Amino acid sequence: MTLRIIAQPLTAEAFAPFGDVIESEGQHSFHINDGNALRFHDVAKAEFSGDAAHVGISLVDVAPYQMPLAVTLMEKHPKGSQAFIPLDNEPFLVIVAPRGPEIRIEEIKAFITNGRQGINYHTDSWHHPLVSLKDAQRFIIVDRIGKDDNCDLFHIEPGQLEVALS
């Protein structure tokens, strides 16, 4: 029997156990550049650990996934946070699970972004690899750059879990 999870609209409150929502709504802001710009300040924290590592900024082009999404893999990064910021103003799917050594599929949560929102997974937060829904989408990634391994995987039996938009 396949468990089907319906993605819910992403909110900062619902996502708080897993990370930060990168958005201007509800954020502390102040004017800069002689009042010509409004800065939404410190909306998410980039974390990393390890000596020969740093926080880097990358770009990624993601091919769309078929929906409903068959979930067979989750991952986490124990040595740093990972942020994805969309550049195409298109909603994308965010799938997360509570912290811990194992994942119970009943506890997995799925969110759909509003197209403007980005997300920042906290260090060691279980998540599905980045899922775009329409054409190839481009994102900015802000995460730990290092030569050592920083990706724990959790495999889910095919046919156990799918995520749908409605």
Ligand X SMILES: NC(=O)N[C@@H](O)C(=O)O
Q: Is residue 130 part of the contact set for ligand X (CB under 6 A)?
A: yes
- Total binding residues toward Ni ion, as defined by CB under 5 A: 1
Residues from 53 through 82 that contact Ni ion (CB under 5 A): 82
In the numeric block, which tokens belong to residue 23? 């958005």
Minimum CB–partner distance for residue 55 and Ni ion (Å) = 14
Helix ranges, 11-125 (H): 12-15
21 versus 37: smaller Cβ distance to Ni ion: 21
Q: Which residue(s) pair with 99 in the sheet?
A: none
Strand intervals (E) in the chain: 3-6, 8-9, 19-22, 29-32, 37-40, 53-62, 69-70, 73-76, 82-86, 92-97, 109-112, 118-121, 126-127, 131-132, 137-146, 152-155, 161-164
Contact call for residue 129 and ligand X (CB under 6 A): yes
For ligand X, which residue of 140, 141, 145, 146 counts as binding (CB under 6 A)? Answer: 141
Q: Closer to ligand X at the Cβ: 5 or 83? A: 83
Closer by beta carbon to Ni ion, 88 or else 124: 124
Choose the one of Ni ion, ligand X, none that binds residue 100, judging by a C-beta under 5 to 8 angstroms depending on kind: none
In the chain, the amino acid numbered 118 is G
Residues that bind Ni ion (CB under 5 A): 82
